[in-house]
Amino acid sequence: MEVVNVGLGERSYSIYIDRGLLLECGNKLPSLFSPPYKGGVSGGVGRKAVIITNPLIRGLYGNLLENSLKEEGFKVHFIEIPDGEGYKTLETAVKIYDRLIAIKMERESPLIALGGGVIGDITGFVAATYLRGVPYIQAPTTLLAQVDSSIGGKTAVNHPKGKNLIGAFYQPKAVFIDIETLNTLPKEEILCGAAEIIKYGIIRDGDFFEFLENNIERLINLNEDVLIYSIKRSCEIKADVVSKDEKESGLRAILNFGHTIGHALESLTGYKKYRHGEAVAIGMVYAARLSLKLGLCSSEDYKRVVNLITIAGLPTEIPPHPPLRPPLPLLQKEGIKGRSKGGRGGFVDAIINSLYLDKKVKEEKIRFVLMKGIGSVELRSDISNELIRKVLTH
Ligand code: NAD
Ligand code: GLY
């Protein structure tokens, strides 16, 4: 088993990575608490544990996790929410609170998020707010959740006006990454995780990027050694960044490489055309192109990024005739006003407009994460709309 520590003082926790780890959850749980749970079997007896999941994942892995908890004496409850980003809402959170109140869930008992990033984000949000905070465990079952969303304590639900607008920073007690769960994950979802893994190489570790260049096909085909190493290295990089800047006052923003344009693409297409990782893949290509135009990276580095994303099987370009979702509350920025039209030109304008609606805009300046070669990035807020337009239309 691999273990990565997230160092955050008294809120520190471990990320465990192995095959078959869901079976170990029960016996690991009691020792995660301070003071550790005491009493029957290993401390679980008489204690409740609530697994939050969706029907699909419950059908695949619910029994495994439930049995592992029951063996340690935990009284297990399931709360199921419907599958999909559309249910990551306050309304769903309220339904979860209702159930927690109905089963008299008390402050010391854990919630366990069994699923992808949607389940992880909403469970973390409920954990942060129910009874002013209860412990929670992440048991991520998508590659994206295993290398990104389950780590670092960003919890959230969506608001009709935007993704993740309501949330809190609230760290889990532990993350249990069972790579066995990836065997049932559709290929497209594996690719989304791969996009975030590639991101870690670009932002922080040139050697890891090179490892991925040599092993991307093995990673996507779930070769055990490559998978475990890639998940571990990604977790180490995220843990290091989060432990230095938990609440994103600076450094943590580098984790958003590719996300600025990626988020705009997702939002403008109503979250229907692209999965998150696909939009991030395209966003990384444009961020790399912007870096090239600004002379921050060489054309060879730019080509390596495009090549790795391409051989991974991820998209690299916005399509010529992208579908727009119904009009956004567009900000009328200088140079954009009145320019929205159909086709790619209109879409590029809409992307630039949408960039100003991002949570990460500060004092009306769009913040880009740009690459300085491979393995290092910098934050820039001085990029003109003209240059963004040029890069998007090249
Ligand atoms: P997801 O949670 O929607 O899961 C994708 C699909 O895979 C779902 O249909 C799910 O039911 C299914 N699934 C999950 N595990 C499976 C398995 N083992 N086998 C078969 N099917 C399985 O999507 P995601 O990509 O995991 O997460 C996306 C969410 O994560 C978004 O809401 C995003 O905002 C959030 N996110 C959060 C952070 C953070 O730091 N908190 C970071 C990145 C993304
Ligand atoms: N996914 C970006 C972050 O956790 O900060």
Q: What is the mean pLDDT of residues 251-273?
A: 91
Strand partners, 177: 17
Query: Is the C-alpha dihedral spanning 313, 229, 174, 29 positive or negative?
Result: positive
pLDDT of residue 47: 85
DSSP 131: G
Q: How long a stretch of residues is the chain?
A: 394
Q: Does ligand 2 have an atom closer than 6 angstroms to the CB of 252?
A: yes
- Which active-site residues does the annotation give? 132, 154, 196, 238, 248, 252, 256, 259, 263, 276
**Predicted confidence band of residue 295 (pLDDT cuts 50, 70, 90):** very high
Residues 284 and 197: beta-carbon distance below 8 Å: no
| Ligand 1 centroid to residue 362 C-alpha, Å | 28
Nearest ligand 1 atom to the CA of 84 is 3
With the most atoms of ligand 1 within 8 angstroms of its CB, the residue from 256, 276, 278, 359 to mutate is 276
Q: Which residues line ligand 1 (CB under 6 A)?
A: 54, 56-57, 60, 83, 85, 88, 115-119, 121, 141-142, 144-145, 148-149, 152, 154, 163-164, 181, 184-185, 189, 192, 276
pLDDT of residue 324: 57
pTM: 0.93
Q: What is the mean pLDDT of residues 321-336?
A: 46
| Ligand 2 centroid to residue 241 C-alpha, Å | 10
Tens-place pLDDT, residues 103-150:
999 888 999 999 999 999 999 999 999 999 999 999 999 999 999 999
List the CATH code of the domain at 2-184: 3.40.50.1970
**Tokens read off for 189:** 């979802």
Report the alpha-carbon angle 108-113-114, nearest 5: 135
pLDDT over 90 at 318, yes or no: no
The answer to whether 2-184 and 187-393 have equal CATH topology is: no
Closest ligand to C-alpha of residue 274 is 1
Share of the chain above pLDDT 90, in %: 76
**Tokens read off for 337:** 């006003």
Helix, strand, or coil here: 69?
helix
Nearest ligand 1 atom to the CA of 193 is 25
Q: Is 304 left (phi over 0), alpha (psi -120 to 50) or beta?
A: alpha
List the CATH code of the domain at 187-393: 1.20.1090.10
Q: Does ligand 2 have an atom closer than 6 angstroms to the CB of 154?
A: yes
Query: Looking at 36-40, 161-165, 285-289, which range is the least confident one?
Result: 36-40
Arithmetic mean of pLDDT over the chain: 91
pLDDT over 70 at 176, yes or no: yes
Element (H, E) at 243: helix 224-244
pLDDT of residue 337: 42
Alpha-carbon gap, residue 192 to 312, rounded angstroms: 10
Tens-place pLDDT, residues 192-238:
999 999 999 999 999 999 999 999 999 999 999 999 999 999 999 99
DSSP, residue by residue, 165-192: EEEEE---SEEEEEGGGGGGS-HHHHHH
Residue ranges per domain, the chain?
A: 2-184, 187-393
Tens-place pLDDT, residues 20-76:
999 999 999 888 876 677 666 666 667 899 999 999 999 999 999 999 999 988 999
| Ligand 1 centroid to residue 144 C-alpha, Å | 7
